[in-house]
Each structure stands twice: as C-alpha cells, then as structure tokens.
Chain A
Amino acid sequence: MGFRSEEMCLAQLFLQSGSAYDCISELGEMGLVEFRDLNPSVSAFQRRFVSEIKRCEEMERILGYLLREIKKENIAVPEAEDLPAAPAPKNVLEIMEQLQRLEVELSEVAKNKEKLERNLLELTEYTHMLRITRTFMHSRSRHEALGPQYEEFPTLDTESVTGCTSMQRLGAKLGFISGLIQRVKVEAFERMLWRVCKGYTILSYAEVDESLADLDTGEINKSVVFLISFWGEQIGQKVQKICDCYHCHLYPHPENDEERADIMDSLRTRIQDLQNVLHRTEDYLKQVLHKASESAHSWVLQVKKMKAIYHILNLCSFDVTNKCLIAEVWCPVSDLTNLRRALEEGSRKGDATVPSFVNRIPSNDTPPTLLRSNKFTSGFQSIVEAYGVGDYREASPAPYTLITFPFLFAVMFGDLGHGVVMTLCSLWMVLTEKDHTRRRPGNEIWRTFFDGRYIMLMMGLFSIYTGLIYNDCFSKSLNIFGSSWSVNAMFTEQQWSNETLQTNALLTLDPNISAVFSGPYPLGIDPIWNMAVNRLAFLNSYKMKMSVIIGVIHMSFGVVLSVINYIHFRQKFKIYLLFLPELLFLLCLFGYLVFMIFYKWLAFSARDSRLAPSILIHFINMFLMQGNDSTPLYPGQMGVQMFLMVVALLSVPVMLLGKPLYLYWLHHGGKSLRVHRGYERVRRVSEEDLSTSIVHDEEEGLSDSGGPQEFDFGDVFLHQAIHTIEFCLGCISNTASYLRLWALSLAHAQLSEVLWAMVMRLGLRMTSKLGVLLLVPVFGVFAVLTVSILLVMEGLSAFLHALRLHWVEFQNKFYSGTGVKFCPFDFSLLPCVFEQDGLL
C-alpha cells in the first residue's frame, strides 16, 4: 500500500525506428510507464503517424458496422481465449483486407435482402388485392344489368394501369383503379374522391386481415384494399393523381375472372420462390456473421492496441538522424529493471540491429504520484483520491483510512442485526468476485457497490462490533450476560410494594439502594435500558461525549501525521513553528475537555451524582476566564485552567508569525547560511525529493533556478494568517462537527425502533386464529423496509458523513492533495468504445 508515493524518475527511451512499435507494444502489455507528450505544439493532423491512425479508425468503423449487424441477428460474440497482442505492421494489411471484404459482402447481402423483401411485399399486396376485389366484382355482378355486358365488348387498353371496358352505348369508358392504401388514410381518401370526382366514382374497400410491414418506415400497420370504378378519362386522371397523393400502391386490375385466376396462380408461385430465396439469403447472412463473430473480439482488441501504440508513437520525437525515436517517460525507480527488460524483449521481437535503451535524466518537474494497491486497499485508496491525489512523496492518509473509516461508519450505524445483513451481503460479493469481474455487467449502480465490496465488508464487521457495544439488534437489546439491575432488590429493601406498583405509572430504580445495581455490564450498554423510558437521556449524554472524544483523538492524529511530512521534506523548523503550536492549541483546549469528561466519569459515582457539575459550563467559564460559584471539579482547577488558556493563547501568535519571520530571517539575515545552502543545493540537484519541496513552499528557494528566490513577505504572512485563523476557528467547529456521530446513531436507532413498533409489532400482536398468517407478509414488509430504508438509505448517509469527517476534519490537518495521479500506458486500462456502446 505505501505510506507515501513511490519514488519516480524521468527517463528517456531511445527506440530504434524499426523496433519502436514492438517496444511500445511490450510496454503497453506491462503497463509500467507514463509517456509525456514531446510534441505539444503539433496539432493532431500534423503528427507523424496520422495515416496509420486513420487506417485504424477505418478498421474500427468497419468493426462497428460488423458488430451492429451481429447484434441485430442476436448472435453472441465469444471472448477470445487469450488476449491477442498488437499485430505487427505487416499483418495489419491482412486484417484490413479481411475487414473490407467482409464489409462489402455484408452490405451487398443486406441490399439484396432488402430488394427481395420489397418484391415480396408487392406480390403479397397484389395477391390480397386480387382476392378481395374478386369479392367486390362478384357481389356487384349480382346486379345483372351491368355484369354480363362487360364480356361482350372488346377491351380498349389505353393505359397499362387502368383496365378499361368500353360501353359504346353510353359513350363513356368504365375504368377501374385498384390498389392498397393505409387504413388510417381511408376516410380522408374517400372524402377527397367524393369531393373531387363529384359522384362519378364508386369506391369499395375492404380491410386486409394480415398486417403488412411498411419497408420504408419499418412499421407494421393495417392496409385496405380498394377498388375505384369511374366513368370518363378525365376522372381517371384525377383519380390517378389523388391515389399518388395518398401514397397508394396501385396494381393492374384484371379484366375477367380467368385472367384474375391466372395472375393469382403465377403470383403464388412467384411468392413461394421469393420466400425460398429470402430464406436462403438470411441463412447465408447468418452464416457469414457467425463466422465473423468468432474473430470479432480479437480483431477489436488488436485494433485498439494498434491505435494506442500509434498514438504513443505520435508523442515521441525523432532525433536528427531520423533513425531513432526519443520518448520521455515517468517511471517508478523500482521498475527500471523491468523497463530495461521490456525494451530488450521489444527489440528482439522487432529484429532490431541496434537495441533500444533507457537513460534516466534529472528533472525539476514534479513527478506524478503512484501508490500501489491491491484489490482490498484499492477501494479505500479511491475514496481518499476522490478528494485529491496526494502530492508527490506526501504522507498518504489511505492506510489509516482502512480502519478509521469503517470505524466511524460503524459508530453512526451501530446495529448488530443490520451489521450482520451488511456483512453477509458483502461476503457474498467477495466470495463470488471472480465471476463478477469477468462478466462485467453494465449497470453502473451495481458496479459502484461491487467495487466497494471490501469497504462494505469492513463496515459490516465494525458495525457488528458497535452493535454489540450499543446493544442494539433490530432495535432490541440482547441480554447476553444478565442485566446488572435488579428490580427485585427494590422490593426486598422495602422501597416498593404492591400499592406503589398500582398507583404509579412510572417508577425509578435507585442505584443507591444496595443490590439494585451490581456493577457495570461486561460489554456494552445494559439491556435493561431498552425498556427504560429515560433511555435516550442516558444514551445521548454517553454518545455525545464519546463523539467528542473520538473527534479530538482523530484530529490530534491528523496533526501528528503532519510531522511525518515535515521530517521527510527536511523542514525541521516547521515542527517547532507549526506543529507544536497547533498541537498545543488543540490539546490545551479540547484535550482538556476530554480530560474533564473522563474525570467526571471516574470521580463522580451514583452517590454524589446530584452534585456533579456540568462540564459545558466549566468549559465556557474557562474561556471567559472567570471563576464560577459552583464547586470546582478538582482542587486547583482554576489554576490549571488559567495555565492552559495562557499556553493556548500564546501558541496563536507563534503560529501566526513564526514561520513568516523565520523565512524572512533566512532570506535577509542568514547570509552565511545561504552560502552553505548553495553547496548543498548543487550536491542535491538530482534528488527528486528535494525538488518537490517547491510545491510546498514557493518561498523557500531550495530549487536551483539560479539566483536569489523572490521572497514576498506579505504573501507568506497572508497565507499563514489564513492558515492560523482556519486552524483555530476550525478546531472548535470541527470538534462540534464530530457530534454528527451521535446524531446519526440516534437517528438510526430511532428509525429502527419505529420500524419495529409500527410494522413488526402488528404481526406479533395478532391473537386471532388466522392472525398468525398475517405474520408472514408483515415480516416480508419489515425485511424490505429494513433493507431499503435502514440499510441502503441510512448506510449511504453514514458512509457520506464518515467520508466527510475524513475529508474535511481529518485531512485538512496535514494533507494537501494537489498532486497528479500516475496513469501508466497499459492496454488493459484503455476503454473500449464498443463495450461502452453495448455492442460487445
């Protein structure tokens, strides 16, 4: 895990042009280093390997199309067994060719399929139309007047679409237009026809029972077959135009029944043939996609790695001979041997004549921060880093967070039953983690909970502990050791009698009577308090004092941690001028409050509890520096308090003026010291540790930027004044802030009690015969509400508040968190665009 960032160094890689690709591929597989951009002023389109990246993007486009088609056919893409490495440049063309061929084939097949489907639709519609208009004609042919006459007269075929039958006697031509129109448009169509043609048309229509898909929009809607019979050519043209307007599909109307039967037969065979061909086409498409899906995953990975490598190559610069690529990387010092080995491996793979090598160079820039973590500590690391990544070589609060965070959560959550449920849930996630990490479900909320499974496990275990201390299990207390309070003793000592019981609603157990109270409960709160009416008064006092004690300890710990930073960055003066006054201020005031709390607990017993003074009054009087009339807590209290107040007050100006004055003296007064420091500076020029101290003290001037550093006393003084005010006022507000530990645990206990009283009690109090069956659903409701309100809502709330206590109250005592995180070039860390789109 690491208490501070690993030591990092800046290194130059000299890569031979031929084997540069392979070297970087090796580095990407191992994920050791972070590359720096050596061409920041060059735009993306002017870089060296732009054409290769364009080619990769073309391949990605084709792969995207391929994956979309595969997904449409619901074919699963199997994951590659072992992850493929980035392909060598000579194999790239092969992959490109394959992909292009696949794309062409797929688009052709898709186009053919669409044409066939369109054809099929037309034929089907024609069939429906013929079938339905036959019923029109036959129903009409019952009117003998018009029917048989049609067959006597010769047909005059003037237009291909409209079938004409001439009625010479009337001198007008009877025309037919038939086709299909969408169901929703029929009424408007009819009305339009009536208005335009003024009764010279007859429209008959019937609905098609089979709903057909409209190929252009992809919707499935009902169609209606219509038959328009009209007189006159002008009318015919008008009808034609109206039909076009309403997007009707028109089909030629047959003259007579034989023709109709012939056409229907031929249509039937054609439809069958088409369906056959369509099936074969679909099968072929599926086959092609199936074959492609086998290698789709490895192609995606290979293209991703290739693109990443070219991107990195773009960050490098070419040297003058153009034979060698130079790259600058941040590398952890401990990984330098691995880096060398990776370069050797890459050179070997690329058949390089000259091997690539690495050279460590000194640098003044602040390296990025690397804190190694395993699967257990990475969760805690990420919640610390969410606030801010630590500066380089700064003490990290993460290892302490492993324990303090679950503990503070548990203080706010403290319920044995809920802790058990939380532990079991997180234990399940931890034990099945292999399946879940492999499967990678897309739900983000689940992902968040899963990544925090170890945090949840710790929180659950600690909650079990605090649940035992608070003696709270689903709002009921467990009587493990036997209560120390005895009601019987009140009777035997003649305090109570039966009349007392009958005449009083509430009675008080007096611990001063012998045998009533037989000593403290071995672990936690006595279970009898669960039944006491004044339970909250007792628990509130206890929890509030506990919160203040925990808070002062936590904050003092934070102040002490700052010493580690001062010692490491060799700023010894800060220990005397910053750490000591801060610690004294905190301990003299709030440490004394903690002392008073413990003293009152120990010094006053049940006998003189009435005489016990209020700590808060004494504390306030200490600030006001006035003695009060009540008896002191202990002899000599006034003197001790005066002394502590004086020490605390004196530490404020030391905090305020100490550091600025010392630095002023360093820069202007200590000339001899400065020369001495100059030698030290030259000697230490390559030590990165020292160079980072400029991040902390811009005014310190230990960098070798040459010449006397600008020392702005006003700036330093202002900073220090702000820091002093923040610390001193913050002490009070932060201590009060820790009272949220009490507040949340009270809220949790009360919610839990209300849930039991309002839900579970209903089921338990049932006395009727069938009432027992009510207990089953009541328990179900109780369980669901417990999980949703008490576990999820209260759990998230306690998580948030514990996190806030860490981020603000604890970390602002020593942590600056303004660093940059180390992001190594690692193929496994690169996001996959297709996974994000859900295609893979």
Chain B
Amino acid sequence: MASLLFCGPKLAACGLVLSIWGVVMLAMLGIFFTTHSAVLIEDVPFTEEDIHNQQSPLQGVYDLYNKVGYNCFIAAAIYVAIGLLSFCQVRLNKRKEYLVH
C-alpha cells in the first residue's frame, strides 16, 4: 500500500489544482470550439486548400472547429483522470502524516 504513494504532499496538491483548472478551462474551450466561436479562428488548423478546394469551405471550417473541440474534451477527460489520481495521492499523504504522529 505504501508503494502507491509516489509524490509528496506539495506535488500532489499542485497536481490537483492544475487538474481542476485544466478540466474547467478545457471543457469551456471545447464548448466554445464546438459552437464555432469566431474569436478562436486563429487556433483552428485550417489551410489555404481547405478554403479553395472544397465545395463548401464553411462546412469544412466548421468540421475543423468540431475536431479541435473534441480534442479539448478528450484532454479535459484526461485531466479528470489526473485529478482523481492527485486526489488519491493527497489523501494518502494525509493518512501517512496522520499515522506518523
């Protein structure tokens, strides 16, 4: 059971905070991408060919938007996992500190 603990209390707390921030921010980014917000146009990886060679370039751009949005959601899910892991580490650290005293 002791070997499950691999980081100290500070690192675990940092990981937890980072994960919560990551989940919130990436989820919101994902929502904004899937609703095709214009402000985020620079972050969508479209190229010249997408505009010129396609029948409906608008739909192509929207598809790219959706793809990036789903990427963000996947990253948010990964951060949920990291968050749970950090939370377990925090709890294990607290228990270890409690036991020593």
Q: Is A783 an interface residue (CB 8 A)?
A: yes
Fill in one digit per residue for B52-81: 1 if any A CB lies within 8 Å of its CB, else 0. Answer: 000000000000000110011011001100
Please give the number of chain B residues whose Cβ is less than 8 angstroms from any Cβ of chain A in the complex. 25
A527 with B39, Cβ < 8 A, contacts A767-B67, A779-B22, A783-B18 known: yes
User: A775 near B37 (CB under 8 angstroms)?
Assistant: no
Contact, CB under 8 Å: B42 / A780:
no
A476 contacts the other chain (Cβ, under 8 Å)?
Answer: yes
Given contacts A764-B71, A772-B71, A772-B75, contact A530 B39 (CB under 8 A): yes
Interface residues on chain A, size class: 20 to 34
In the complex, the answer to whether A775 meets B72 with C-beta atoms within 8 Å is yes
B41–A776 CB distance below 8 A: no
Give every chain B residue within 8 A of A531 (Cβ-Cβ): 38-39, 41
Cα distance A477–B68 in the bound complex, in angstroms: 19
B43 sits at the interface (CB 8 A): yes
Least distance between A495 CB and chain B CB atoms (Å) = 20
Tell me if B11 counts as interface (CB < 8 A to partner A): no
Q: Cβ of B39 and Cβ of A775 under 8 Å apart?
A: no
- A780 touching B22 by the CB < 8 A rule? yes
B6 located at the interface, meaning its Cβ lies under 8 Å from any Cβ of chain A in the complex? no
The dominant DSSP class at the B interface is: helix
- Which A residues are CB-close (under 8 A) to B29? 764
Residue of B nearest to A765 (CB): B45
- Of B26, B43, B78, the residue contacting A761 (CB under 8 A) is B43
Q: Check A353 for interface membership: any CB of B closer than 8 A.
A: no
Question: Contacts of A763 on B, CB cut-off 8 Å?
Answer: 75
Cα distance A783–B29 when bound, in Å? 14
Q: Which of B39, B68, B78 contacts A776 (CB 8 A)?
A: B78
Across the interface, name the chain B residue whose C-beta is closest to A779.
B22
Knowing A766-B71, A767-B45, the reply to whether A779 touches B25 (Cβ < 8 A) is: yes
Contacts A479-B37, A783-B21 known; A761 to B75 CB distance under 8 Å?
no
Nearest opposing residue in chain A for B72, CB measure: A775
Q: Nearest chain-A residue to B42 (Cβ)?
A: A761
Chain B residues with CB under 8 A of A479: 37-39
B39 touches A476 (CB 8 A): yes
Complex contacts, B75 vs chain A, CB 8 Å: 763, 772-773, 775-776, 779
Residues of B within 8 A of A760 (CB): 43
User: A464-492 toward B: CB 8 Å interface, digit per residue (1/0)?
Assistant: 00000000001011010000000000000
Please indicate the chain A residues that have their CB under 8 angstroms from the CB of B25 in the complex: 474, 779
For chain A, residues 518 to 552, give those with C-beta under 8 angstroms from any C-beta of chain B: 527, 530-531
Specify which chain B residues have a CB less than 8 angstroms from the CB of A764 in the assembled complex. 29, 43-45, 68, 71-72
Q: Mark B7-26, 1 if CB is under 8 A from A, else 0.
A: 00000000000100110011
Q: Give A739-781 as 1s and 0s: 1 = Cβ < 8 Å from B's Cβ atoms.
A: 0000000000000000001001101111100011101100110
State the Cβ distance, A524 to closest chain B Cβ, in Å: 14
Please, which residues of chain B bring their CB within 8 A of the CB of A530? 39
Give complex CA distance A474, B82 in Å. Answer: 23
| Nearest CB on A from B75, distance (A) | 4
CA distance A594 to B28 in the complex (A): 41
Give the residues in chain B near A421, CB-CB below 8 Å.
Answer: 21
CA distance A701 to B22 in the complex (A): 68
B68's nearest neighbour on chain A, judged by CB, is A764
Nearest-CB distance from A73 to chain B (Å)?
Answer: 16
**Smallest CB gap from B18: residue in A:** A783
**A531 → B minimal CB distance (Å):** 7
Considering the chains assembled together, what is the distance between the CA atoms of A76 and B44 in angstroms? 58
Residue in contact with B26 in the complex, picked from A527, A766, A779, CB distance below 8 Å: A779
Q: Which residues of A contact B78 (CB under 8 A)?
A: 773, 776
Q: Is the CB of A780 within 8 A of B45?
A: no
Chain A residue at minimal CB-CB distance from B26: A779
* Given A476-B39, A477-B39, A531-B41, A776 contacting B79 (CB threshold 8 A): yes
- Cα distance A477–B45 when bound, in Å? 20
Minimum distance in angstroms from B43 CB to a CB of chain A: 4
Residues in A with CB closer than 8 Å to B45 are 764-767
Bound form: Cα–Cα A725–B67 in Å: 65
B71 lies within 8 A of A775 (CB): yes
User: What is the bound-complex CA distance between A476 and B38, given in angstroms?
Assistant: 11
Q: In the bound complex, what is the Cα–Cα distance between A756 and B22 (angstroms)?
A: 15
A and B contact pairs by CB, cutoff 8 A, 24 listed: A76-B101, A421-B21, A474-B25, A476-B39, A527-B39, A530-B39, A531-B41, A757-B42, A763-B75, A764-B29, A764-B43, A765-B43, A765-B44, A765-B45, A766-B71, A772-B71, A772-B75, A773-B78, A775-B74, A776-B75, A776-B82, A779-B25, A783-B18, A784-B18
Pairs of residues from A and B, 6 with the lowest C-beta to C-beta distance, nearest first: A775-B75, A765-B45, A764-B43, A772-B71, A776-B78, A772-B74
The interface of chain A, by Cβ under 8 A from chain B, is 76, 421, 474, 476-477, 479, 527, 530-531, 757, 760-761, 763-767, 771-773, 775-776, 779-780, 783-784
Contacts A775-B74, A779-B26, A779-B75 known; 12 new A-B pairs at CB < 8 A = A476-B39, A476-B40, A757-B42, A761-B43, A764-B29, A764-B43, A764-B71, A767-B45, A767-B67, A771-B71, A775-B72, A776-B79
